[in-house]
Amino acid sequence: MRTAQLLLLSWFSPSYPVGAFAYSHGLEWAQEAGDLADASSLALWLTDLIERGAARNDAILAVAAWDAVTAGDWPEVAGIAELALAMAASTERRMETVTQGNAFLLATAAAHPVPELARLRQVAGPDLAYPVAVAVAAAGHGIAKADLLPAFILAFAANLVSAAVRLGIVGQTDGQRVLAGLMPCISKTAAALASASLDDLGACAFRSDLASLRHETQYSRLFRS
């Protein structure tokens, strides 16, 4: 197995210390509201996020950051990092991406250092969005976009399936069935976005954005988002 593949397996493992397990990306409120009750509704919700929601935008931001690092355009990297934070649809969404981005940068700079990670901290400021941190690390290690994108989107989906299992929306077996069913969508989306630019940013998963806003005042919560 190539080193690049091993790095991606490590970075997107649940054991990598970014704290992804603490976030449901609004699923917790969606369950309380009755939007999510079974495997079918969960699969549709995650498909929307991948094809026209936050997962798609995060992948585009990752592509743009990877391209800028590869071109040596660090002012562009700084602008993408700022844009990624500005695009957070709620306070919790910003917290979700920043805490994971900062944690990823800290862990990866210590365990898998490359000069690009040190440069990123210089140009991006104290808060860093997760997709930008991942993309800069991938570019620094020579990981191709074709390898990065499907792994990145799959990790996003897998974390939300894990949250859905803990919320009781689905059981473990149904959760894995949902994830398996998403793989063609993940592969297709990753391939389509490999040549995307910032002009392609945009989303219409409004119910998911609303869920993230409503979760901020949800009375009883297991997750931070």
pLDDT, residue 1, reads 54
Question: Nearest CA to 54 among 29, 87, 103?
Answer: 87
Task: Please provide the distance, in angstroms rounded to a whole number, between the alpha carbons at the two ends of the chain.
Answer: 35
Whether 41 is covered by a domain: the verdict is no
64's tokens: 């743009």
Whether 225 is covered by a domain: the verdict is no
Residue 2, pLDDT > 80, answer: no
Residue 4, pLDDT > 90, answer: no
Question: What HEC string does 64-111 produce?
Answer: HHHHHHHHCCHHHHHHHHHHHHHCCCCHHHHHHHHHHHHHHHHHHHHH
Whether 158 is covered by a domain: the verdict is yes
Domains contained in the chain, number: 1
Whether 11 is covered by a domain: the verdict is no
Whether 28 is covered by a domain: the verdict is no
pLDDT digits (tens, 9 = 90+) for 69-99: 999 999 999 999 999 999 999 999 999 999 9
Print the domain residue range for 143. 50-215
Helix, strand, or coil (residue 158): helix
- CATH code for the domain of 95: 1.10.4190.10
Whether 58 is covered by a domain: the verdict is yes
Whether 22 is covered by a domain: the verdict is no
pLDDT digits (tens, 9 = 90+) for 105-116: 999 999 999 999
Whether 135 is covered by a domain: the verdict is yes
Half-sphere exposure of 205 (CA within 13 A, CB side): 26
pLDDT digits (tens, 9 = 90+) for 149-192: 999 999 999 999 999 999 999 999 999 999 999 999 999 999 99
pTM of the model: 0.97
